[in-house]
Every structure is written in structure tokens, then in C-alpha cells.
């Protein structure tokens, strides 16, 4: 018998964090065999060969040392050029860009550099699951702000106004959005900017899916008039260049903020992996074509899966970004979790309940299309059988 | 419309309905276009790409370089026709460079291929010389890498 009383030693803040609802569903999945999964949050393309080759070459040359804390200057310069080339935003590679271990670390240090005990952070939901827990660890309070299908799951100025209090210190802007696929246009972002222009609110703009915007170009919040000075932009290589396992991202912010984030980064991380950094330079220099190729492929699958789900009688909002659709599975009278569990147990297809991304995700489910068309087709056939059965049950 | 052909070139399994969803075009138009392409020979055929090494079928593939004397008014076409009509010939290309025709042949054994070269190709009047190269291993064909199955290595991660 252990003599250790862990309840007395473990951090209360950490213990109070709820495990992610996505994780819960994945654990369920692992107990089953032969499941057709539409759950992953990562691209199915391998990293483009020229990028992998650059990583391999760097190892052959023996580039296996730490880089400077903020990342190699060459990579920061390339990031700066890339952001200017693709999104018309200017960041100084020397003082405003930090290379991180994935977009996740970027989000972490951004929140920790800003949030103190009692601060409120507005988090539009449904959204990715990491913001709330990181805010809690920093002593802040995440304030979920519902977005709804009628607004295309976008954040509106009215909703934002209603959530702002004198404790609000940060607004998270998770667009293009995981799980809904919603995208905010320049006009819509300008309205958000209007609301916060005369406040002291910092915007954490998580633009990791920025390159996966299907109707028109992605607008970075930092490019909106007057917003550069109050925006912390986080992004990375995972989604744009299909480099999830390389764990490489970056965070861009005014010098004053970057200096503080860099302290956290250097004490906690030292520097992002050198091999990944050197491969990323190749991606930025010669990878624009890869982005376009992958985006075109996702776009075709996106249309295909939306049609397929609608054909099953599931209303499906047409997403403009990322690689997820967020169908309204609630029309069959089941909760999201019931729908997803029955689909899994009875028809061997896995999708993630919308509630994993916030309470307001009830009635919806996240379906990833980062899969081959053949795989998606198989899954759709099963979903069709399931919905037919549900309709029969409803009639009885 | 090249979009449709590009999709089919990668995956001939796609139905007009699927292509219609993917490209947001009318299914009827797509059917009509594919029909036309099949009729006018733009779409030459459909086939599966098979790694025979995973089966017990015995076979060899050879690439044969041919130097040819072109014929007056007919150039290489007449001799090319004579060659491609043999069912053993999988592919035939007119080449620039050190030789004229590249013939890809499949046979059961090396002996059978050698026999075909010696008996059918070499004696042709306009064939000046032949050089036969046997394929030892196929790594990639028509964009597909051999030996790889459909394994999804992605783990479920937040």
C-alpha cells in the first residue's frame, strides 16, 4: 500500500482541469476494432518530400545543436517574409517573432505572458479545447461565448459586447475554426475591431488553419487597421505544410509582449527542435505550391462530404475553412454524445460529439475530412444506414 | 474540364456523382463530358495498378531500346504500328536521344521475352539494333508507390 497521499501534493489548479471530451471519445475508440474513423485533427498528407529531405540533410550535416531561444534568425526572417507575402502583415524577425513547439506552445506562452489571477478571457465556442485549461493554470477565468449556426458560427460584435466586463483582458479569436470550419471575413473582423478598439483588450488570434480557407484569402486579425499593436498571432506548420509531428509553430506580437513570452519559452523549452526549424525554412522558401495542392484536395473533399451528409438527411452548415464539417446531428432527437456512441457501436464509424468543444456544441458533431475519398465514402455509406434506421425509429 | 480528367487520372473509381459534389458541377454535364472523352479517345482506358510481386504470378518486364530506320513518308508510324499490335507490348514510346523507340514488354519468363525480341522485333526490316533491359524491381508506377499498403499511421491526438 502506498503511503503517499497524492491529493495533498498535486496542484489543485491542475487537478481541477477537466480532461478533454475529445480524449474521452478517443479512449472509447481504442477499445474497438475495424472502426472507420473521421476523428483525426491532422492532415493525411505526409510532409512534402523536399521538406523532409531538408530535415534529413540537416541531420547528415550534424546540425544537432540548440538554436537561439527565439529560433534561428533565418527561419524568423522566412516567417516574416511569408506573413507579408501571404497575409500582408509585417513583423520584425528580430524582435516580434518567436519560434515555438507547435501552435500549442505559442498559445500557452501568449496566455501566460498576459493573464494574471482574476483576469477574464473570452473564448468563443465551439472551439478547440486548449484555451480554457491554460487560462485556468495562469489563474485567469475563461468565459465561454457561444457562437451559433445562424451566424455561421462566427463571432458577432453584439455577442462580444455582451461578454466584455471590466475584468476582460483577452479575447481568443479561433478562426478558421476547429471544429465548425467557420471563417471570419475582413468586414466581420473589422466589426470586432470596432468593439475592442477603445479598450485594453489583447486579442489572441489563433490562425493555425489560416491557409485552409476555401472561399477567398484568409484575413489575419493583425492586418486590421490598428489591431497589430494588440494582437498576438499564433500559427504554425502543422496544418499548412502537413508537419504535425515536427512540432513547430510560431507566435508574433509587439516587441513588449514578445520579450515577456520569450522568457517563458526560454526557461520552459529552450528552443524548438533544430531539425524541424531547418526543414521549416525549406517549407517557407519552396512550399507555397504544396499548400495550394493540399488545399485544392481538401476543398474537393469538403464539398463531397457536405453533399454526402446532406444526402443522409443531416443538415450541414457549409464550412469555409479548416478540414472539419459540423453537421447538426441533433435533428434525430438524440444528444450529440448518444448519436456518436450509437454510430460507433452500431455502425463502426467514429466522429466526435460537438459537446467536446463546448456546451453549445450540443446537437452537433465534428467530422474530419482529412481522409481519402475512398475512406470518406465508406464512412458515408455507414452513416446513411444509421440515419435510415434512426428515421424508422422516429416513425415508430 | 481538365479538372475532371485530373481526378479520374488519379482515381478511376470516382463516379460522376462524386465528381459532381467535389467540383460543384452538374452530374449530367460530367457524364456527358466523360462519354465524349471516351468516344474521342481522350480517355484511353481504365485499369488497376497491380503489384504482381505480391501474388504467385510469374512475370518479367523488360524495356527494349530500338534504333529504327524511318520509312519514307511514313516516318516511324508504320513500324510502331507493327510493334504495338503485339499483345506482349505494354507500352511503346517514340523517344528523343540515343534510340528511337522504347518498347515495354511483359512476359512470363526472361526466355520468353528474349525470344520475342529475337524472333519478332530484331528481324523487322527497319529495326537497326535492339538493347534489352530487364526490370528488376518496380518502386513506383503511374504515381503509385509499390509495397505501401493503405495504413493510416496517424494517432488520435487532441
Name the residue among B135, B131, B134 with its Cα closest to residue B67.
Answer: B131
For residue A168, pLDDT beyond 80 = yes
Asked if A17-41+289-391 and A49-286 have one fold, the answer is no
Write down how long chain B is. Answer: 158
Q: In what order do the strands lie in the sheet with A365-368?
A: A324-325, A365-368, A352-353
Same domain, B15 and B77: no
Inter-chain touch A304–B21, beta carbons under 8 Å: yes
Taking the CA atoms of residue A335, residue A339, residue A340 and residue A345 in that order, the dihedral angle to the nearest 10 degrees is 130
Name the residue among B145, B3, B135, B157 with its Cα closest to residue A49.
Answer: B145
Task: Write down the ipTM of this complex.
Answer: 0.85
Same domain, B33 and B61: no
Q: Does domain A17-41+289-391 have CATH number 3.90.1150.10?
A: yes
Residue B120 lies in a domain: yes
**What's the total number of domains in chain B?**
2
Inter-chain touch B158–A307, beta carbons under 8 Å: no
Taking the CA atoms of residue B98, residue B100, residue B105 and residue B110 in that order, the dihedral angle to the nearest 10 degrees is -50
- With a CB-CB cutoff of 8 Å, which residues 5-24 of chain B face chain A? 7, 11, 13-14, 18, 21-24
pLDDT band with cut points at 50, 70 and 90 for residue B155: confident
Inter-chain touch A41–B158, beta carbons under 8 Å: yes
Same domain, B120 and B98: yes
For residue B74, pLDDT beyond 90 = no
Segment B74-80 shows an average pLDDT of 92
Same domain, B56 and B19: no
Taking the CA atoms of residue A221, residue A223, residue A225 and residue A228 in that order, the dihedral angle to the nearest 10 degrees is 80
Same domain, B21 and B64: no
Same domain, B6 and B30: yes
State pLDDT tens for residues B46-71: 999 999 999 999 999 999 999 999 98
State pLDDT tens for residues B117-148: 999 999 999 999 999 999 999 999 999 999 87
Same domain, B23 and B88: no
Q: Is the overall model pTM greater than 0.90, yes or no?
A: yes
- Tell me the count of A-B CB pairs closer than 8 A: 42
Q: 3-state class of A36 per DSSP? A: strand
Nine-digit cell string for B102: 522504347
**Is A216 buried (19+), middle (13-18) or exposed (0-12) by CB count in 10 A?**
exposed
Inter-chain touch B154–A377, beta carbons under 8 Å: no
**Fold type of domain A49-286:** 3.40.640
d(CA A5, CA B60) in angstroms, rounded, equals 70
Beta carbons within 10 angstroms of residue B78's beta carbon = 13
Task: State the residue range of the domain holding B15.
Answer: 2-39
Same domain, B32 and B79: no
Domain boundaries, chain A: 17-41+289-391, 49-286
d(CA B106, CA B119) in angstroms, rounded, equals 16
Average per-residue pLDDT in chain A?
97
Same domain, B62 and B133: yes
Residue B66: what pLDDT? Answer: 97
**Interchain CB contact of A307 with B (< 8 Å):** yes
Q: Which of A77-81, A275-279, A295-299, B52-56 has the lowest mean pLDDT?
A: B52-56
Nine-digit cell string for A38: 473521421
Beta carbons within 10 angstroms of residue A186's beta carbon = 15
Same domain, B64 and B15: no
* CATH code of the domain containing B85: 3.30.70.920
The DSSP bridge pattern shows strands B127-134 and B140-141 to be: unpaired
Percent of chain A with pLDDT over 70: 100
Percent of chain A with pLDDT over 90: 94
Inter-chain touch B21–A30, beta carbons under 8 Å: no
Nearest beta carbon to residue A42 from set B14, B24, B154: B154
The DSSP bridge pattern shows strands A249-252 and A349-350 to be: unpaired
Same domain, B74 and B13: no
Same domain, B87 and B9: no
Residue B143 lies in a domain: no
Beta carbons within 10 angstroms of residue B92's beta carbon = 18
State pLDDT tens for residues A138-160: 999 999 999 999 999 999 999 99
| B7 phi and psi angles, rounded to 5 deg | -65, -45
**Interchain CB contact of A55 with B (< 8 Å):** no
User: Where is A103: in which H helix or E strand?
Assistant: helix A102-114
State pLDDT tens for residues A81-133: 999 999 999 999 999 999 999 999 999 999 999 999 999 999 999 999 999 99
Strand partners, B99: none
DSSP string, B29-50: HHHHHHHHHHHTTSS-------
Amino acid at each position: 500500500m502506498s503511503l503517499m497521499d497524492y491529493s495533498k501534493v498535486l496542484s489543485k489548479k491542475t487537478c481541477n482541469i477537466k480532461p478533454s471530451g475529445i480524449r474521452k471519445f478517443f479512449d472509447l475508440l481504442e477499445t474497438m476494432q475495424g472502426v472507420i474513423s473521421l476523428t483525426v485533427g491532422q492532415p493525411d498528407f505526409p510532409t512534402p518530400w523536399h521538406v523532409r529531405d531538408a530535415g534529413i540533410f540537416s541531420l547528415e550535416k550534424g546540425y544537432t545543436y540548440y538554436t537561439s531561444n527565439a529560433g534561428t534568425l533565418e527561419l524568423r526572417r522566412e516567417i516574416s517574409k511569408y506573413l507579408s507575402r501571404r497575409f500582408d502583415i509585417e513583423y520584425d524577425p528580430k524582435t516580434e517573432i518567436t519560434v515555438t513547439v507547435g501552435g500549442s506552445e505559442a498559445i500557452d506562452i501568449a496566455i501566460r505572458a498576459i493573464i494574471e489571477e482574476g483576469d477574464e478571457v473570452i473564448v468563443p465556442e465551439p472551439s478547440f479545447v486548449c484555451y480554457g485549461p491554460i487560462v485556468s493554470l495562469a489563474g485567469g477565468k475563461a468565459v465561454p461565448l457561444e457562437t451559433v449556426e445562424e451566424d455561421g458560427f462566427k463571432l458577432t460584435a453584439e455577442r462580444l459586447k455582451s461578454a466584455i466586463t471590466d475584468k476582460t483582458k483577452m479575447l481568443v479569436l479561433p478562426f478558421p475554426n476547429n471544429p465548425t470550419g467557420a471563417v471570419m471575413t475582413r468586414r466581420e473582423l473589422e466589426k470586432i475591431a470596432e468593439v475592442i478598439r477603445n479598450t485594453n483588450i489583447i486579442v489572441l488570434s489563433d490562425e493555425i488553419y489560416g491557409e485552409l480557407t476555401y472561399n477567398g484569402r484568409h484575413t489575419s486579425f493583425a492586418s486590421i487597421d490598428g489591431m497589430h499593436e494588440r494582437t498576438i498571432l499564433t500559427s504554425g506548420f502543422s496544418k499548412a505544410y502537413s508537419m504535425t509531428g515536427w512540432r513547430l509553430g510560431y507566435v508574433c506580437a509587439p516587441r513588449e509582449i514578445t520579450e515577456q513570452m520569450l522568457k517563458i519559452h526560454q526557461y520552459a523549452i529552450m528552443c524548438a527542435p533544430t531539425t524541424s526549424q531547418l526543414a521549416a525554412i525549406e517549407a517557407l522558401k519552396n512550399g507555397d505550391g504544396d499548400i495550394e495542392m493540399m488545399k485544392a484536395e481538401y476543398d474537393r473533399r469538403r464539398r463531397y462530404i457536405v453533399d454526402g451528409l446532406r444526402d443522409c438527411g443531416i443538415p450541414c452548415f457549409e464550412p469555409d475553412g479548416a478540414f472539419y464539417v459540423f453537421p447538426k446531428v441533433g435533428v434525430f432527437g438524440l444528444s450529440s454524445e448518444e448519436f456518436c456512441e450509437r454510430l460507433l457501436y452500431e455502425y463502426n464509424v467514429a466522429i466526435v460529439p460537438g459537446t467536446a468543444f463546448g456546451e453549445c456544441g450540443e446537437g452537433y458533431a465534428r467530422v474530419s475530412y482529412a481522409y481519402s475519398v475512398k475512406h470518406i465514402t465508406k464512412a458515408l455509406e455507414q452513416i446513411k444506414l444509421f440515419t435510415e434506421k434512426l428515421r424508422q425509429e422516429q416513425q415508430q | 474540364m481538365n479538372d475532371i480528367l485530373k481526378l479520374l487520372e488519379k482515381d478511376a473509381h470516382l463516379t460522376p456523382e462524386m465528381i459532381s459534389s467535389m467540383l460543384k458541377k452538374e452530374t449530367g454535364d460530367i457524364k456527358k463530358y466523360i462519354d465524349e472523352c471516351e468516344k474521342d479517345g481522350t480517355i484511353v482506358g481504365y485499369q488497376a495498378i497491380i503489384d504482381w510481386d505480391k501474388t504467385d504470378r510469374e512475370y518479367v518486364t523488360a524495356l527494349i531500346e530500338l534504333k529504327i530506320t524511318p520509312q519514307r513518308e511514313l516516318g516511324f508510324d508504320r513500324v510502331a504500328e507493327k510493334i504495338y499490335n503485339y499483345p506482349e507490348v505494354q507500352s511503346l514510346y517514340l523517344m528523343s536521344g540515343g534510340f528511337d523507340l522504347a518498347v515495354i514488354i511483359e512476359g512470363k519468363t526472361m526466355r520468353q521475352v528474349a525470344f520475342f525480341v529475337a524472333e519478332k522485333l530484331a528481324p523487322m526490316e527497319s529495326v537497326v539494333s535492339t538493347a534489352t533491359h530487364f526490370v528488376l524491381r518496380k518502386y513506383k508506377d503511374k504515381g503509385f508507390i509499390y509495397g505501401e499498403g493503405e495504413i493510416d499511421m496517424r494517432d488520435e491526438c487532441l
